[in-house]
Amino acid sequence: MDIIKKPNISAGTWEIPEDLRLQLLALLSTDPTHPAIMTYEEFLDWADEDTLAEWVEGRVVMASPASKKHQDLVRFLSDVLAAYAETHELGSILIAPFQMRLATSGREPDVIFVASDHRDRVLATRISGAADLVVEIVSPESRSRDRGEKFYEYQAGGVPEYWIIDPDEHRAEFYQLDENGLYQIMLPDADSIYRSRVMDGLWIRTLWLWQDQLPRINQVMLTIDPAAYSARLIADLTENGLLP
């Protein structure tokens, strides 16, 4: 148990432990009527890997625990993107909680793709700058934030591709930055297929996302990328002595 130091009566000052000071700053910064007072560095010192919070212009934004449906979609999409990225050596996939530090915010997108050319942006505890692709799985309490504040932050921050997946409304929105740095919505085709621009050759059938039982990752990869993924599986099995 932390012990608060007694006030130094002779000096007329109160020595507050640093962890308590940060807790007080975090509490005050969640109050919209209070001036923003917590720096990003203080936020990082206060928050740990189990803290469900983001930093926006000096304020702490707390998040609710995720539902099972939310977690299932995060796992499914991160596994598909990771399998595709590994197969073609495109870059890295990260999942929340992991900070993406933009000019005015430190958000924790549900799924993040960072291309190999931008690997220097990935630090030990955060991404310094824009990821190449960001996915947010909408929950009832985050719906307006994902389509509002985050939309404009990611656009201004230069995130080239932004997916908003709403499992309750069975709605998937895919945005890509145009030449003017503004998001344009990209609609799936008649077969409900969306093709990524950032991850060249990757496509997703949106109907998969609304199934009670999400497809197996191998099944998805053998559908969208059969030749390259099969070759990778065979190479892995051969390397591990499971094939001659």
**Pair 57, 73 in one domain:** no
> At 129, which CATH number?
3.90.1570.10
Q: What total of structural domains would you count in the chain?
A: 2
Does residue 2 register a pLDDT over 90?
no
Q: What is the average pLDDT across 185-194?
A: 96
Asked whether 109 and 136 are in contact (CB, 8 A), the reply is yes
Q: Indicate the pLDDT class of residue 22, thresholds 50, 70 and 90.
A: low
Q: How many CA atoms lie within 13 A of 105 on its CB side?
A: 19
Range of weakest confidence among 25-39, 69-83, 89-103, 166-180 = 25-39
- Domain of residue 28: give its range: 18-62
Which of these, 194, 207, 192, lies nearest to 163 by C-alpha position?
194
In the predicted structure, residue 111 carries a pLDDT above the cut 60: yes
40 with 73, same domain?
no
The pLDDT of 45-60, averaged and rounded, is: 74
Helix 68-88 × helix 217-224 angle, to 10°: 50
Give domain status of residue 128, yes or no.
yes
Report whether pLDDT(69) > 80.
yes
Helix or strand run (H / E) with residue 149:
helix 149-157
What is the average per-residue pLDDT within 81-88? 98
